[in-house]
Structure 1
Amino acid sequence: MDLNDLGDFLLVAASGSLGKASRASGKPKATLSRRISDLEEHLGVRLVERSARGLMLTEAGQLLASRIEAPMGEVAEAMIATREGMALPRGHLRVASPVLFSQLAMGQISAAFCAAYPEVLIEVVAEDRMVDLVDEQFDVVIRVNPSPDSTLVGRCFAKDRLVVVAAPGIAQPDPGAVRQVPAIVASTFQSGRWDLDNGRLVLEPIPRLRLSSFLMIRDAALAGAGVALMPESIAWHHLARGDLVQWGVVSGADPALWVLHTSRRLAAPKVRAFVDFLCARYPDMSLVLNG
């Protein structure tokens, strides 16, 4: 299969007619028609319906166009960069990022990235759900402790810790038997215990507040509403000032942040640049201080 056939098919699909595609590209209508016919013969399906009013994509044609538009764009971008002798990041970069990390860090990160790469328009979508990079046209996704996925590649760029904290006025229980404590928990919390520092202290949280955001949980803990579990990266400022007291680190629950992109696409210069930029932002892999 000739990539030119795919490129010309996309051109005709976007133009809606052979005449418009011919005027836009400078290619003869006969050449464009022949390449679409060659592509249809190769695939064994009809891609367009021809009529006096123009061309209309068949269901198969719509499916093919939706699947190849982004990869063909990246191939074209790479060819331009190679022809110019440099791989300058440029274009529209869409990033899906967890809500908490977006609120705490992505504003500064995206501003610094734009300053370093002025030809890139970066769009960050704060989203906790599992987005589909291909169907939703994201170039990059940031995930916490992602499950193995053969369709994605990337790098771990930072790690965090889950800590249990409380306001100074709440007395910390002595180690020993399981201790019940008034707790501020996530809205999804069911039941369970907080095992701190490999069993040094085991707490049974008794919910007093259920909140859907770690930032709300932190603020409620600062107000003295109870004991709370949260990422160290959002509490360390208050721990350093003494506004909160750390009771311990939850054993075996370290969050790791990964920056991922699909392995089925050519990694465009803008994607490579963002991955490298984000990893360089956290040289010691710690979200504390660097977040």
Structure 2
Amino acid sequence: MNLNALIDFMLVATNEGLGKASRASGISKATLSRRITDLEEQLGVRLIERSARGLKLTEAGELLMSRTETPLSEVAEALTAAREGLSTPRGRLRIAAPVLFSQLAMGQIGAEFCAAYPQIELEVVAEDRRVDLVEEQFDVAIRVNPSPDSSLVGRCFAKDRLVVVAAPDRPKPASGAVSPVAAIVMPSFEPTQWRLDDGQLVLEPIPTLRFSSFLMIRDAAIAGAGAALLPRSIARNSLARGELVQWGTVSGVEPELWVLHTSRRLAAPKVRAFVDFICARYPDKDLMLNASPS
């Protein structure tokens, strides 16, 4: 079977027509049509129905496309990598990252990454929703404690701790019985208990304010509105300045940041470069060591 004919079939099917496929590839419509016809004759089935309104895949064509799309994209990436060299990542790299991490860290990380790889054009989209990397054409996603996903692979590059903090003039409850405290929480907060330092202190948070941002929660805690459960990296500068005091660390909870990409066997050189770069930035996986001032 002619591999070029198969690639051209995928090109026409993806672009939904000979004209668009021709403009995208620079291959003439006549050549594309002839190769698809040759492929149909080799297989003994019609792959595309042709009509005045355009082209439509037959059932056999849809089956062929579904079975060959990913393998062919891997072949194309392999050929591109062989031509360009694995040591020269290049092209546009789209990254989806959580809003807070983007605001606090991705500006500096992106600048340093592009300085190291000047042939890469970086685009970072700050969103807290779970993006679909394939459908939305992202190369990489950064997620906090991601759920298992068979279509994605990646590495944990940094960890944080959750701490309960409050303004210095707010009295800390004594250890022993469960202690109710006025609390500043996320809108998604559900009744729970904060067990600190292996259960020596147990707090029952009573929501008084709800904010959708850890930065707003931190600022409200500084203003004395109540106790707050924050990532240590967000609270560290306020703790150092004495604006907040730490009551304790929540036991058994450790937020993890992961860098993820699609599980295709051949990751693009630009993707491998970014994964290695951000993991090297946090050699001890400690988000505190490289947290930007806030």
* TM-score, normalised with respect to structure 2: 0.85
SS in 2 for 1:289: helix
Q: 2:229 maps to what in 1?
A: 229
Is the 1:71–1:265 contact (alpha carbons within 8 Å) kept by the matching residues of 2?
Answer: no
What's the counterpart of residue 6 of structure 2?
A: 6
Please name the residue that 2:57 is paired with: 58
Task: Give, in angstroms, the shift of residue 193 of structure 1.
Answer: 0.8
C-alpha displacement at 1:256, in angstroms?
0.8
User: Contact 1:165–1:246 (CA<8 Å) still a contact in 2?
Assistant: yes
Code of the residue aligned with 1:247 in structure 2: it is W
Amino acid at match of 2:165: V
3-state SS in 2 of match to 1:235: helix
TM-aligned CA deviation for residue 183 of structure 1: 0.8
Q: Could you tell me how far 1:243 is from its partner in structure 2?
A: 1.1
Equivalent residue number for residue 213 of structure 2: 213
The equivalent residue for 2:76 is 76
Task: Map Cα deviations across residues 4-31 of structure 1 (whole Å, 9 max, x no partner).
Answer: 2332124445494379839965679357
The residue aligned with 1:281 is 281
Which stretch of the first structure deviates more once superposed, 261-270 or 218-227? 261-270
Q: Which amino acid aligns with 2:252?
A: G
Q: Does residue 1:17 correspond to 2:21, yes or no?
A: no
Q: Deviations over 1:91-144 (max 9, x none)?
A: 121111122211211111112111111211122122222222222222111111
> 1:34 maps to what in 2?
35
Map of 1:261 onto structure 2:
261
Q: Is 1:101 paired with 2:88? A: no
Question: How many angstroms apart in 1 are the aligned matches of 2:40 and 2:204?
Answer: 65
CA contact (8 A) 1:97 1:128 kept: yes
Cα pair 1:5 1:39 within 8 Å, conserved: no
Q: How far did residue 281 of structure 1 move?
A: 1.0
Are residues 1:92 and 2:92 paired?
yes
Change (3 A) 1:74 1:90: farther
CA distance in 2, matches of 1:79, 1:274: 21
- Cross-structure match for 1:121: 121
Distance in 1 separating the partners of 2:196 and 2:262: 37
Unaligned ranges ≥5, structure 2 = none
Write the distance in 1 (CA, Å) between the matches of 2:257 and 2:49: 48
Tell me what 1:270 maps to: 270
Q: Post-superposition shift, 1:81?
A: 2.9
The residue identity in structure 2 corresponding to 1:33 is: R
Cα 1:103–1:85 change in 2 (3 A) is: closer
Equivalent residue number for residue 175 of structure 1: 175
| In structure 2, C-alpha distance between the alignment counterparts of 1:82 and 1:253, rounded to whole Å | 44
Counterpart CA distance in 1 for 2:193 and 2:23 is 68
> Alignment RMSD, CA only?
3.2
TM-score by length of 1: 0.86
Superposition deviation, residue 39 in structure 1 = 5.7
Q: Deviations over 1:145-188 (max 9, x none)?
A: 12222222111100000000001111111111111111111111
